Structure 1
Amino acid sequence: MKKVLAVLLSGILAVGLLSGCGNSSSDDKVIKVGATAVPHAEILNAVKEDLQKDGYTLEVTEFTDYVQPNKVVDDGTLDANFFQHKPYMDSFNDEQGTKLVSVGTVHYEPLGIYAGKSKDIKNIPDGATIAVPNDTTNEARALLLLEKNGIITLKKDAGLNATAKDIEKNPKNVKIQELEAAQIPKSLQDVDFAVINGNYAMEAGLSVKKDALAIETADSEAAKTYANIICVKEGNENTDKTKELLKVLQSDNVKKFIDGKYDGSVVSIFE
Protein backbone atom coordinates (compact mmCIF):
# COMPACT_ATOMS: atom_id res chain seq x y z
CA MET A 1 0.00 0.00 0.00
CA LYS A 2 2.82 2.36 0.89
CA LYS A 3 4.51 1.58 -2.43
CA VAL A 4 1.30 2.35 -4.38
CA LEU A 5 0.85 5.59 -2.45
CA ALA A 6 4.44 6.59 -3.20
CA VAL A 7 3.93 5.94 -6.90
CA LEU A 8 0.73 7.98 -6.90
CA LEU A 9 2.42 10.87 -5.10
CA SER A 10 5.33 10.75 -7.52
CA GLY A 11 2.92 10.92 -10.42
CA ILE A 12 1.04 13.86 -8.95
CA LEU A 13 4.31 15.68 -8.30
CA ALA A 14 5.49 15.08 -11.85
CA VAL A 15 2.23 16.39 -13.29
CA GLY A 16 2.49 19.43 -11.05
CA LEU A 17 6.03 20.14 -12.16
CA LEU A 18 5.15 19.76 -15.80
CA SER A 19 2.12 21.99 -15.32
CA GLY A 20 4.29 24.57 -13.59
CA CYS A 21 6.82 24.48 -16.39
CA GLY A 22 4.06 24.99 -18.93
CA ASN A 23 2.72 28.05 -17.11
CA SER A 24 6.21 29.49 -16.77
CA SER A 25 6.83 29.15 -20.51
CA SER A 26 3.48 30.73 -21.24
CA ASP A 27 4.10 33.58 -18.80
CA ASP A 28 7.40 34.34 -20.50
CA LYS A 29 5.42 35.36 -23.58
CA VAL A 30 2.94 37.60 -21.74
CA ILE A 31 4.03 41.19 -21.10
CA LYS A 32 1.98 42.89 -18.37
CA VAL A 33 2.17 46.67 -18.40
CA GLY A 34 0.44 49.31 -16.26
CA ALA A 35 -0.42 52.68 -17.77
CA THR A 36 -2.61 55.74 -17.47
CA ALA A 37 -5.25 56.02 -20.17
CA VAL A 38 -4.13 58.90 -22.40
CA PRO A 39 -1.84 58.75 -24.21
CA HIS A 40 0.01 55.83 -22.61
CA ALA A 41 -2.55 53.03 -22.80
CA GLU A 42 -3.53 54.20 -26.28
CA ILE A 43 0.08 53.91 -27.45
CA LEU A 44 0.44 50.48 -25.85
CA ASN A 45 -2.73 49.19 -27.47
CA ALA A 46 -1.39 50.38 -30.81
CA VAL A 47 1.60 48.01 -30.56
CA LYS A 48 -0.27 44.84 -29.58
CA GLU A 49 -0.21 43.46 -33.12
CA ASP A 50 3.51 44.13 -33.48
CA LEU A 51 4.14 42.18 -30.28
CA GLN A 52 1.91 39.33 -31.44
CA LYS A 53 3.99 39.01 -34.60
CA ASP A 54 7.01 38.41 -32.38
CA GLY A 55 5.14 35.84 -30.27
CA TYR A 56 4.21 38.04 -27.31
CA THR A 57 0.85 38.91 -25.78
CA LEU A 58 0.50 42.37 -24.26
CA GLU A 59 -1.83 42.86 -21.30
CA VAL A 60 -2.48 46.52 -20.43
CA THR A 61 -3.85 47.48 -17.02
CA GLU A 62 -5.09 51.07 -16.76
CA PHE A 63 -4.61 53.16 -13.63
CA THR A 64 -6.00 56.53 -12.60
CA ASP A 65 -3.32 57.25 -10.00
CA TYR A 66 0.46 57.48 -9.99
CA VAL A 67 1.15 55.26 -6.96
CA GLN A 68 -0.25 51.81 -7.69
CA PRO A 69 1.38 51.34 -11.11
CA ASN A 70 4.78 51.70 -9.45
CA LYS A 71 3.97 49.44 -6.52
CA VAL A 72 2.76 46.57 -8.71
CA VAL A 73 5.91 46.73 -10.85
CA ASP A 74 8.08 46.73 -7.74
CA ASP A 75 6.29 43.70 -6.27
CA GLY A 76 6.44 41.79 -9.57
CA THR A 77 2.71 41.76 -10.34
CA LEU A 78 3.38 43.64 -13.58
CA ASP A 79 6.45 43.57 -15.80
CA ALA A 80 6.58 47.30 -16.54
CA ASN A 81 4.70 50.56 -16.47
CA PHE A 82 4.41 53.52 -18.79
CA PHE A 83 3.04 56.78 -17.38
CA GLN A 84 5.78 58.81 -15.72
CA HIS A 85 9.01 60.71 -16.21
CA LYS A 86 12.29 59.83 -14.53
CA PRO A 87 12.31 62.63 -11.90
CA TYR A 88 8.97 61.36 -10.59
CA MET A 89 10.22 57.76 -10.53
CA ASP A 90 13.40 58.77 -8.70
CA SER A 91 11.39 60.69 -6.12
CA PHE A 92 9.03 57.72 -5.70
CA ASN A 93 11.99 55.40 -5.11
CA ASP A 94 13.35 57.74 -2.44
CA GLU A 95 10.01 58.06 -0.66
CA GLN A 96 8.73 54.48 -1.00
CA GLY A 97 11.94 52.43 -0.91
CA THR A 98 11.13 50.86 -4.28
CA LYS A 99 13.78 49.77 -6.77
CA LEU A 100 12.49 50.99 -10.12
CA VAL A 101 14.59 51.92 -13.15
CA SER A 102 14.04 53.48 -16.55
CA VAL A 103 14.94 51.46 -19.63
CA GLY A 104 14.13 54.10 -22.24
CA THR A 105 12.08 57.12 -23.27
CA VAL A 106 9.09 57.16 -25.60
CA HIS A 107 7.57 60.64 -25.78
CA TYR A 108 7.15 64.03 -24.14
CA GLU A 109 4.17 66.36 -23.94
CA PRO A 110 5.42 69.83 -24.87
CA LEU A 111 4.41 73.12 -23.31
CA GLY A 112 3.50 75.84 -25.79
CA ILE A 113 3.07 79.61 -25.74
CA TYR A 114 -0.39 80.66 -26.92
CA ALA A 115 -1.79 84.06 -27.86
CA GLY A 116 -4.41 85.67 -25.65
CA LYS A 117 -5.16 89.39 -25.97
CA SER A 118 -1.86 89.89 -27.81
CA LYS A 119 -0.81 87.96 -30.91
CA ASP A 120 2.80 88.85 -31.76
CA ILE A 121 5.34 87.09 -29.58
CA LYS A 122 8.18 88.97 -31.28
CA ASN A 123 6.74 92.35 -30.31
CA ILE A 124 5.33 91.89 -26.84
CA PRO A 125 3.70 95.02 -25.41
CA ASP A 126 5.38 96.57 -22.39
CA GLY A 127 3.84 95.23 -19.17
CA ALA A 128 2.15 92.26 -20.86
CA THR A 129 0.71 89.55 -18.61
CA ILE A 130 1.80 85.97 -19.26
CA ALA A 131 0.08 83.08 -17.48
CA VAL A 132 2.22 80.10 -16.45
CA PRO A 133 1.44 76.89 -14.52
CA ASN A 134 1.87 77.30 -10.76
CA ASP A 135 3.26 73.82 -10.00
CA THR A 136 7.01 73.66 -9.50
CA THR A 137 7.90 71.45 -12.46
CA ASN A 138 5.80 73.13 -15.12
CA GLU A 139 6.48 76.69 -13.96
CA ALA A 140 10.19 76.12 -14.46
CA ARG A 141 9.55 74.63 -17.89
CA ALA A 142 7.35 77.61 -18.80
CA LEU A 143 9.98 80.13 -17.71
CA LEU A 144 12.69 78.31 -19.66
CA LEU A 145 10.48 78.43 -22.75
CA LEU A 146 9.95 82.18 -22.28
CA GLU A 147 13.70 82.62 -21.89
CA LYS A 148 14.41 80.64 -25.05
CA ASN A 149 12.12 83.01 -26.95
CA GLY A 150 13.93 86.10 -25.66
CA ILE A 151 11.19 87.35 -23.38
CA ILE A 152 13.05 87.05 -20.06
CA THR A 153 16.47 86.01 -18.78
CA LEU A 154 16.79 83.70 -15.78
CA LYS A 155 19.60 83.47 -13.27
CA LYS A 156 22.43 81.38 -14.61
CA ASP A 157 21.83 78.15 -12.71
CA ALA A 158 18.06 78.36 -12.18
CA GLY A 159 17.35 75.57 -14.68
CA LEU A 160 14.50 73.21 -13.90
CA ASN A 161 14.09 74.67 -10.41
CA ALA A 162 13.34 78.16 -11.70
CA THR A 163 10.55 80.30 -10.29
CA ALA A 164 9.46 83.84 -11.10
CA LYS A 165 11.90 85.03 -8.43
CA ASP A 166 14.76 83.79 -10.64
CA ILE A 167 14.00 86.25 -13.44
CA GLU A 168 17.14 88.36 -13.79
CA LYS A 169 16.28 90.45 -16.83
CA ASN A 170 12.80 91.50 -17.91
CA PRO A 171 13.16 94.12 -20.66
CA LYS A 172 9.43 94.19 -21.46
CA ASN A 173 8.38 94.28 -17.80
CA VAL A 174 6.13 91.28 -18.34
CA LYS A 175 4.00 90.19 -15.42
CA ILE A 176 4.08 86.48 -14.68
CA GLN A 177 0.68 85.25 -13.52
CA GLU A 178 0.84 81.85 -11.85
CA LEU A 179 -2.31 79.74 -12.32
CA GLU A 180 -3.29 76.12 -11.92
CA ALA A 181 -2.26 74.41 -15.17
CA ALA A 182 -5.76 73.10 -15.94
CA GLN A 183 -7.27 76.58 -15.55
CA ILE A 184 -4.94 78.44 -17.90
CA PRO A 185 -6.82 77.72 -21.17
CA LYS A 186 -9.98 79.15 -19.57
CA SER A 187 -8.09 82.34 -18.69
CA LEU A 188 -6.50 82.83 -22.10
CA GLN A 189 -8.77 85.74 -23.00
CA ASP A 190 -7.74 87.59 -19.82
CA VAL A 191 -3.96 87.55 -20.40
CA ASP A 192 -1.68 88.58 -23.25
CA PHE A 193 -0.06 85.18 -23.59
CA ALA A 194 -0.15 81.85 -21.77
CA VAL A 195 2.09 78.82 -21.47
CA ILE A 196 -0.13 75.72 -21.61
CA ASN A 197 0.57 72.00 -21.16
CA GLY A 198 0.03 69.88 -24.26
CA ASN A 199 -2.77 67.78 -22.77
CA TYR A 200 -4.71 70.82 -21.52
CA ALA A 201 -4.25 72.60 -24.83
CA MET A 202 -5.70 69.58 -26.62
CA GLU A 203 -8.65 69.43 -24.23
CA ALA A 204 -9.33 73.12 -24.91
CA GLY A 205 -9.43 72.54 -28.66
CA LEU A 206 -6.06 74.19 -29.29
CA SER A 207 -3.71 72.68 -31.84
CA VAL A 208 -0.10 72.61 -30.76
CA LYS A 209 1.02 72.62 -34.39
CA LYS A 210 -1.36 75.33 -35.62
CA ASP A 211 -2.00 77.55 -32.59
CA ALA A 212 1.15 77.52 -30.47
CA LEU A 213 3.48 80.46 -31.11
CA ALA A 214 6.41 78.47 -29.70
CA ILE A 215 6.85 75.04 -28.13
CA GLU A 216 9.43 73.04 -26.21
CA THR A 217 11.65 71.29 -28.72
CA ALA A 218 12.88 67.71 -28.48
CA ASP A 219 16.41 68.92 -27.74
CA SER A 220 15.33 71.18 -24.88
CA GLU A 221 16.42 70.44 -21.32
CA ALA A 222 12.79 70.06 -20.24
CA ALA A 223 11.88 67.62 -23.01
CA LYS A 224 14.86 65.40 -22.24
CA THR A 225 14.28 65.54 -18.49
CA TYR A 226 10.51 65.05 -18.50
CA ALA A 227 10.22 62.53 -21.31
CA ASN A 228 7.88 59.68 -20.41
CA ILE A 229 9.72 56.43 -19.73
CA ILE A 230 9.29 52.67 -19.71
CA CYS A 231 9.86 51.61 -16.11
CA VAL A 232 10.77 48.15 -14.78
CA LYS A 233 12.01 46.70 -11.51
CA GLU A 234 15.76 46.86 -11.03
CA GLY A 235 17.26 43.61 -12.31
CA ASN A 236 14.76 43.26 -15.16
CA GLU A 237 16.40 45.74 -17.49
CA ASN A 238 17.72 43.07 -19.84
CA THR A 239 14.99 40.44 -19.84
CA ASP A 240 13.62 39.35 -23.21
CA LYS A 241 10.25 40.89 -22.37
CA THR A 242 11.78 44.24 -21.48
CA LYS A 243 13.87 44.29 -24.65
CA GLU A 244 10.85 43.40 -26.78
CA LEU A 245 8.65 46.06 -25.18
CA LEU A 246 11.32 48.72 -25.62
CA LYS A 247 11.85 47.72 -29.24
CA VAL A 248 8.22 48.13 -30.26
CA LEU A 249 7.65 51.33 -28.27
CA GLN A 250 10.67 52.95 -29.89
CA SER A 251 9.71 51.88 -33.40
CA ASP A 252 8.79 53.85 -36.51
CA ASN A 253 5.23 52.53 -36.14
CA VAL A 254 4.88 54.23 -32.77
CA LYS A 255 6.33 57.48 -34.10
CA LYS A 256 3.81 57.42 -36.95
CA PHE A 257 0.97 56.64 -34.53
CA ILE A 258 1.92 59.51 -32.20
CA ASP A 259 2.40 61.98 -35.05
CA GLY A 260 -0.91 61.04 -36.63
CA LYS A 261 -3.08 60.95 -33.52
CA TYR A 262 -1.95 63.73 -31.21
CA ASP A 263 -1.37 66.71 -33.49
CA GLY A 264 1.83 67.75 -31.75
CA SER A 265 0.50 67.55 -28.18
CA VAL A 266 2.52 64.34 -27.78
CA VAL A 267 5.93 64.08 -29.45
CA SER A 268 8.11 60.99 -29.79
CA ILE A 269 11.57 61.36 -28.31
CA PHE A 270 13.77 58.42 -29.24
CA GLU A 271 16.26 57.67 -31.99
Structure 2
Amino acid sequence: MKRLTTLLAALTALLLCTGLHAQPLRIGVTPGAIADSIETAAQEARKRGLDVKVIEFTEWTGPNTALAAGDLDANYFQHLPFLENAVKDRAYKFVAVAPGLLPNQGLFSLKVRRFQDLKEGARVAVANDPANQGRGLLLLERAGLIQLREGSGARATLNDIVVNPRKLNFVEVEGPQLVRALEDVDLAQGVTSHYVAAGKADIADKHGLLYTGPEDVRYAIHFVARQDKASDPRLLQFIQIYQTSTAVRERIRASYAHNEKFYSLPWLARPL
Protein backbone atom coordinates (compact mmCIF):
# COMPACT_ATOMS: atom_id res chain seq x y z
CA MET A 1 0.00 0.00 0.00
CA LYS A 2 2.95 2.36 0.67
CA ARG A 3 4.13 2.12 -2.94
CA LEU A 4 0.62 2.75 -4.22
CA THR A 5 0.13 5.73 -1.90
CA THR A 6 3.45 7.24 -2.98
CA LEU A 7 2.56 6.92 -6.64
CA LEU A 8 -0.81 8.50 -6.02
CA ALA A 9 0.72 11.47 -4.26
CA ALA A 10 3.16 12.01 -7.10
CA LEU A 11 0.43 11.84 -9.73
CA THR A 12 -2.29 13.91 -8.06
CA ALA A 13 -0.98 17.15 -9.57
CA LEU A 14 -1.00 15.56 -13.00
CA LEU A 15 -4.64 14.63 -12.60
CA LEU A 16 -5.59 18.15 -11.62
CA CYS A 17 -3.60 19.83 -14.37
CA THR A 18 -4.56 17.61 -17.29
CA GLY A 19 -8.21 17.08 -16.49
CA LEU A 20 -7.84 13.30 -16.77
CA HIS A 21 -10.71 12.91 -14.33
CA ALA A 22 -12.97 14.14 -17.14
CA GLN A 23 -12.38 10.82 -18.89
CA PRO A 24 -14.15 7.90 -17.17
CA LEU A 25 -12.06 4.98 -16.02
CA ARG A 26 -13.43 1.95 -17.85
CA ILE A 27 -13.20 -1.34 -15.93
CA GLY A 28 -14.38 -4.69 -17.24
CA VAL A 29 -15.82 -7.21 -14.77
CA THR A 30 -17.79 -10.44 -14.62
CA PRO A 31 -21.08 -10.83 -12.68
CA GLY A 32 -21.46 -11.58 -8.98
CA ALA A 33 -19.29 -10.53 -6.06
CA ILE A 34 -16.66 -9.12 -8.42
CA ALA A 35 -19.03 -6.76 -10.22
CA ASP A 36 -20.85 -5.83 -7.01
CA SER A 37 -17.68 -4.84 -5.17
CA ILE A 38 -16.38 -2.83 -8.13
CA GLU A 39 -19.67 -0.98 -8.50
CA THR A 40 -19.60 -0.13 -4.80
CA ALA A 41 -16.07 1.26 -5.19
CA ALA A 42 -17.16 3.15 -8.31
CA GLN A 43 -19.92 4.87 -6.35
CA GLU A 44 -17.35 6.04 -3.79
CA ALA A 45 -14.95 7.12 -6.52
CA ARG A 46 -17.61 9.28 -8.15
CA LYS A 47 -18.14 11.08 -4.87
CA ARG A 48 -14.43 11.95 -4.98
CA GLY A 49 -14.58 13.26 -8.53
CA LEU A 50 -13.32 10.16 -10.33
CA ASP A 51 -15.81 8.96 -12.92
CA VAL A 52 -15.81 5.18 -13.35
CA LYS A 53 -17.67 3.18 -15.96
CA VAL A 54 -18.20 -0.47 -15.02
CA ILE A 55 -18.66 -2.76 -18.03
CA GLU A 56 -19.96 -6.25 -17.29
CA PHE A 57 -19.14 -9.31 -19.39
CA THR A 58 -20.96 -12.62 -19.14
CA GLU A 59 -17.97 -14.76 -20.19
CA TRP A 60 -14.21 -14.87 -19.58
CA THR A 61 -12.84 -13.99 -23.02
CA GLY A 62 -14.35 -10.57 -23.61
CA PRO A 63 -12.66 -8.66 -20.75
CA ASN A 64 -9.18 -9.44 -22.07
CA THR A 65 -10.12 -8.94 -25.72
CA ALA A 66 -11.62 -5.54 -24.89
CA LEU A 67 -8.60 -4.57 -22.80
CA ALA A 68 -6.20 -5.44 -25.60
CA ALA A 69 -8.30 -3.43 -28.07
CA GLY A 70 -8.21 -0.35 -25.84
CA ASP A 71 -11.93 -0.46 -25.08
CA LEU A 72 -11.12 -0.86 -21.38
CA ASP A 73 -8.56 0.82 -19.15
CA ALA A 74 -8.41 -2.23 -16.86
CA ASN A 75 -10.25 -5.40 -16.07
CA TYR A 76 -10.96 -7.17 -12.82
CA PHE A 77 -12.02 -10.79 -13.19
CA GLN A 78 -8.97 -13.06 -13.37
CA HIS A 79 -6.35 -14.56 -11.07
CA LEU A 80 -2.67 -14.77 -11.99
CA PRO A 81 -2.62 -18.34 -13.40
CA PHE A 82 -5.54 -17.43 -15.69
CA LEU A 83 -3.73 -14.24 -16.73
CA GLU A 84 -0.48 -16.10 -17.40
CA ASN A 85 -2.28 -18.60 -19.63
CA ALA A 86 -4.00 -15.79 -21.52
CA VAL A 87 -0.71 -13.96 -22.07
CA LYS A 88 0.94 -17.17 -23.24
CA ASP A 89 -1.87 -18.04 -25.65
CA ARG A 90 -2.61 -14.55 -27.01
CA ALA A 91 0.67 -12.67 -26.43
CA TYR A 92 -1.19 -9.94 -24.55
CA LYS A 93 0.93 -7.08 -23.23
CA PHE A 94 -0.78 -7.10 -19.85
CA VAL A 95 0.41 -6.63 -16.29
CA ALA A 96 -1.22 -7.36 -12.94
CA VAL A 97 -1.34 -4.03 -11.09
CA ALA A 98 -2.68 -5.06 -7.67
CA PRO A 99 -4.54 -7.90 -5.94
CA GLY A 100 -8.16 -7.67 -4.95
CA LEU A 101 -10.78 -10.09 -3.70
CA LEU A 102 -9.67 -13.69 -3.11
CA PRO A 103 -12.46 -16.30 -3.27
CA ASN A 104 -11.19 -19.07 -1.05
CA GLN A 105 -10.88 -22.62 -2.32
CA GLY A 106 -12.06 -25.53 -0.24
CA LEU A 107 -12.27 -29.30 -0.01
CA PHE A 108 -15.84 -30.40 0.67
CA SER A 109 -17.49 -33.70 1.53
CA LEU A 110 -21.01 -34.85 2.32
CA LYS A 111 -19.72 -38.31 3.29
CA VAL A 112 -16.82 -37.79 5.69
CA ARG A 113 -15.93 -35.26 8.34
CA ARG A 114 -12.21 -36.01 8.45
CA PHE A 115 -9.72 -36.75 5.68
CA GLN A 116 -8.55 -39.88 7.48
CA ASP A 117 -12.04 -41.32 7.08
CA LEU A 118 -11.75 -41.42 3.28
CA LYS A 119 -11.69 -45.03 2.13
CA GLU A 120 -9.23 -46.49 -0.34
CA GLY A 121 -10.39 -45.78 -3.87
CA ALA A 122 -12.58 -42.83 -2.83
CA ARG A 123 -13.75 -40.63 -5.71
CA VAL A 124 -12.40 -37.07 -5.67
CA ALA A 125 -13.63 -34.33 -8.01
CA VAL A 126 -11.13 -31.72 -9.20
CA ALA A 127 -11.34 -28.86 -11.70
CA ASN A 128 -10.64 -29.84 -15.30
CA ASP A 129 -8.94 -26.59 -16.33
CA PRO A 130 -5.17 -26.14 -15.83
CA ALA A 131 -5.55 -22.76 -14.10
CA ASN A 132 -7.56 -24.24 -11.24
CA GLN A 133 -6.68 -27.92 -11.10
CA GLY A 134 -3.25 -27.17 -9.69
CA ARG A 135 -4.82 -25.11 -6.92
CA GLY A 136 -7.01 -28.02 -5.89
CA LEU A 137 -4.15 -30.51 -6.01
CA LEU A 138 -2.03 -28.28 -3.79
CA LEU A 139 -4.86 -28.23 -1.27
CA LEU A 140 -5.13 -32.02 -1.42
CA GLU A 141 -1.40 -32.24 -0.81
CA ARG A 142 -1.74 -29.86 2.14
CA ALA A 143 -4.44 -32.20 3.51
CA GLY A 144 -1.93 -35.06 3.39
CA LEU A 145 -3.86 -37.05 0.80
CA ILE A 146 -1.36 -36.95 -2.07
CA GLN A 147 2.16 -35.87 -2.87
CA LEU A 148 3.00 -33.90 -6.00
CA ARG A 149 6.10 -33.98 -8.12
CA GLU A 150 8.68 -31.58 -6.71
CA GLY A 151 8.50 -28.19 -8.37
CA SER A 152 5.11 -28.73 -10.02
CA GLY A 153 3.46 -26.11 -7.78
CA ALA A 154 0.37 -24.29 -9.02
CA ARG A 155 0.82 -25.75 -12.50
CA ALA A 156 0.38 -29.29 -11.22
CA THR A 157 -1.92 -31.69 -13.05
CA LEU A 158 -3.08 -35.18 -12.21
CA ASN A 159 0.03 -36.47 -13.99
CA ASP A 160 2.16 -34.79 -11.30
CA ILE A 161 0.77 -36.95 -8.48
CA VAL A 162 3.66 -39.18 -7.39
CA VAL A 163 2.23 -40.52 -4.13
CA ASN A 164 -1.42 -41.53 -3.72
CA PRO A 165 -1.52 -43.88 -0.72
CA ARG A 166 -5.33 -44.17 -0.64
CA LYS A 167 -5.50 -44.86 -4.38
CA LEU A 168 -7.93 -42.01 -4.80
CA ASN A 169 -9.86 -41.97 -8.07
CA PHE A 170 -9.95 -38.51 -9.58
CA VAL A 171 -12.86 -37.14 -11.60
CA GLU A 172 -12.28 -34.01 -13.67
CA VAL A 173 -15.23 -31.59 -13.66
CA GLU A 174 -15.76 -28.07 -15.01
CA GLY A 175 -15.15 -25.58 -12.20
CA PRO A 176 -18.71 -24.23 -11.71
CA GLN A 177 -20.10 -27.79 -11.82
CA LEU A 178 -18.00 -29.00 -8.89
CA VAL A 179 -20.79 -27.88 -6.55
CA ARG A 180 -23.26 -30.26 -8.21
CA ALA A 181 -20.69 -33.05 -8.37
CA LEU A 182 -20.37 -33.06 -4.58
CA GLU A 183 -23.30 -35.46 -4.16
CA ASP A 184 -21.74 -38.00 -6.53
CA VAL A 185 -18.22 -38.15 -5.09
CA ASP A 186 -16.59 -38.61 -1.71
CA LEU A 187 -14.62 -35.35 -1.80
CA ALA A 188 -14.65 -32.33 -4.09
CA GLN A 189 -12.50 -29.32 -4.72
CA GLY A 190 -14.54 -26.14 -5.02
CA VAL A 191 -14.53 -22.36 -4.94
CA THR A 192 -16.69 -20.95 -2.17
CA SER A 193 -18.22 -18.32 -4.46
CA HIS A 194 -19.74 -21.10 -6.58
CA TYR A 195 -21.50 -22.49 -3.50
CA VAL A 196 -22.84 -19.07 -2.58
CA ALA A 197 -24.04 -18.45 -6.14
CA ALA A 198 -25.80 -21.82 -6.12
CA GLY A 199 -27.59 -21.00 -2.86
CA LYS A 200 -25.57 -23.62 -0.98
CA ALA A 201 -23.53 -21.46 1.36
CA ASP A 202 -24.72 -23.54 4.31
CA ILE A 203 -23.27 -26.69 2.72
CA ALA A 204 -19.93 -24.97 2.12
CA ASP A 205 -19.91 -23.85 5.74
CA LYS A 206 -20.91 -27.17 7.32
CA HIS A 207 -19.09 -29.54 4.97
CA GLY A 208 -15.85 -27.70 4.28
CA LEU A 209 -12.91 -29.72 5.60
CA LEU A 210 -10.12 -27.32 4.61
CA TYR A 211 -9.94 -23.83 3.10
CA THR A 212 -7.25 -21.72 1.52
CA GLY A 213 -6.48 -18.24 2.87
CA PRO A 214 -4.61 -15.03 2.01
CA GLU A 215 -1.39 -16.97 1.36
CA ASP A 216 -3.14 -18.12 -1.83
CA VAL A 217 -2.76 -14.61 -3.24
CA ARG A 218 -1.90 -15.83 -6.76
CA TYR A 219 -5.53 -16.82 -7.03
CA ALA A 220 -6.88 -13.45 -5.95
CA ILE A 221 -8.79 -11.48 -8.56
CA HIS A 222 -6.29 -8.92 -9.85
CA PHE A 223 -6.61 -5.49 -11.38
CA VAL A 224 -5.06 -5.98 -14.83
CA ALA A 225 -4.02 -3.30 -17.32
CA ARG A 226 -1.98 -3.02 -20.48
CA GLN A 227 1.70 -2.54 -19.75
CA ASP A 228 1.69 1.01 -21.09
CA LYS A 229 -1.28 1.97 -18.87
CA ALA A 230 -0.29 0.27 -15.62
CA SER A 231 0.57 3.59 -13.95
CA ASP A 232 -2.61 5.38 -15.00
CA PRO A 233 -3.25 7.66 -11.99
CA ARG A 234 -7.01 7.13 -12.28
CA LEU A 235 -6.55 3.39 -11.93
CA LEU A 236 -4.15 3.73 -9.00
CA GLN A 237 -6.59 6.05 -7.24
CA PHE A 238 -9.45 3.63 -7.85
CA ILE A 239 -7.46 0.69 -6.48
CA GLN A 240 -6.71 2.66 -3.33
CA ILE A 241 -10.42 3.40 -2.91
CA TYR A 242 -11.28 -0.26 -3.45
CA GLN A 243 -8.73 -1.51 -0.94
CA THR A 244 -9.54 1.00 1.79
CA SER A 245 -13.31 1.44 1.48
CA THR A 246 -15.44 0.14 4.37
CA ALA A 247 -18.42 -0.01 2.02
CA VAL A 248 -16.51 -2.27 -0.38
CA ARG A 249 -15.55 -4.64 2.44
CA GLU A 250 -19.14 -4.78 3.63
CA ARG A 251 -20.32 -5.51 0.08
CA ILE A 252 -17.79 -8.33 -0.29
CA ARG A 253 -18.79 -9.82 3.05
CA ALA A 254 -22.46 -9.75 2.06
CA SER A 255 -21.62 -11.39 -1.27
CA TYR A 256 -20.02 -14.27 0.64
CA ALA A 257 -22.97 -14.92 2.92
CA HIS A 258 -21.30 -12.93 5.74
CA ASN A 259 -18.88 -15.84 6.20
CA GLU A 260 -15.23 -14.85 6.44
CA LYS A 261 -14.11 -18.43 5.80
CA PHE A 262 -15.26 -18.00 2.22
CA TYR A 263 -12.98 -15.16 1.11
CA SER A 264 -9.77 -13.29 1.88
CA LEU A 265 -8.51 -9.73 1.39
CA PRO A 266 -4.83 -10.47 0.64
CA TRP A 267 -3.69 -6.86 0.43
CA LEU A 268 -4.30 -6.59 4.17
CA ALA A 269 -1.94 -9.49 4.84
CA ARG A 270 0.56 -8.45 2.18
CA PRO A 271 0.30 -4.66 1.77
CA LEU A 272 1.65 -3.15 -1.44
TM-score, normalised to structure 1, is 0.80
Distance 1:30 1:170, change over 3 A: same
State the secondary structure of the residue aligned to 1:235. Answer: helix
Structure 1 residues 97-108: aligned runs within 5 Å: 97-108=91-102
Deviations 1:2-30 (A, max 9, x none): xxxxxxxxxxxxxxxxxxxxxx7375452
Q: CA deviation at 1:94?
A: 4.0
State the secondary structure of the residue aligned to 2:167. Answer: coil
* Structure 2 counterpart of 1:187, from 176, 181, 186: 181
Mapped partners of 1:161, 1:90: distance in 2: 11
Give the AA of the match of 1:212. Answer: G
CA RMSD of aligned residues (A): 2.3
Q: Which residue of 2 aligns with 1:267?
A: 264
Deviations 1:15-70 (A, max 9, x none): xxxxxxxxx73754522211111222111111133212321122111112333322
Give the AA of the match of 1:155. Answer: R
Q: Which residue of 2 aligns with 1:162?
A: 156
Deviations 1:192-219 (A, max 9, x none): 2111222332234333444311112221
Q: Which residue of 2 aligns with 1:20?
A: none
Q: Which has the larger radius of gyration?
A: 1
Q: Which residue of 1 aligns with 2:243?
A: 250
Q: CA deviation at 1:97?
A: 4.1
Contact kept in structure 1, 2:45 and 2:241, CA below 8 Å: yes
Deviations 1:119-168 (A, max 9, x none): 32243223322221222222221111111011111121221222223222
Mapped partners of 1:96, 1:216: distance in 2: 30
Q: Which residue of 1 aligns with 2:24?
A: 30
Of stretches 158-167 and 260-269 in structure 1, the one that deviates more from structure 2 is 260-269
Distance 1:190 1:233, change over 3 A: closer
Q: Which residue of 2 aligns with 1:11?
A: none
State the secondary structure of the residue aligned to 2:52. Answer: strand
Q: CA deviation at 1:233?
A: 2.1
Mapped partners of 2:30, 2:167: distance in 1: 40
Identical-residue share of aligned pairs (%) = 27
Answer 1 or 2: higher relative contact order, Cα 8 Å, separation at least 6.
2
Structure 1 residues 85-234: aligned runs within 5 Å: 85-207=79-201, 208-219=204-215, 223-234=216-227
Distance 1:178 1:91, change over 3 A: closer
Q: Which residue of 1 aligns with 2:11?
A: none
Give the AA of the match of 1:213. Answer: L
Gaps of 5+ in 1: 1-23
Structure 1 runs (4+) deviating above 4 angstroms are: none
Distance 1:63 1:134, change over 3 A: same
Contact kept in structure 1, 2:133 and 2:156, CA below 8 Å: yes
Contact kept in structure 2, 1:29 and 1:55, CA below 8 Å: no
Mapped partners of 2:149, 2:87: distance in 1: 30
Contact kept in structure 2, 1:80 and 1:232, CA below 8 Å: yes
Of stretches 67-76 and 41-50 in structure 1, the one that deviates more from structure 2 is 67-76
Q: CA deviation at 1:114?
A: 1.0
Contact kept in structure 2, 1:258 and 1:267, CA below 8 Å: no
Q: Which residue of 2 aligns with 1:62?
A: 56
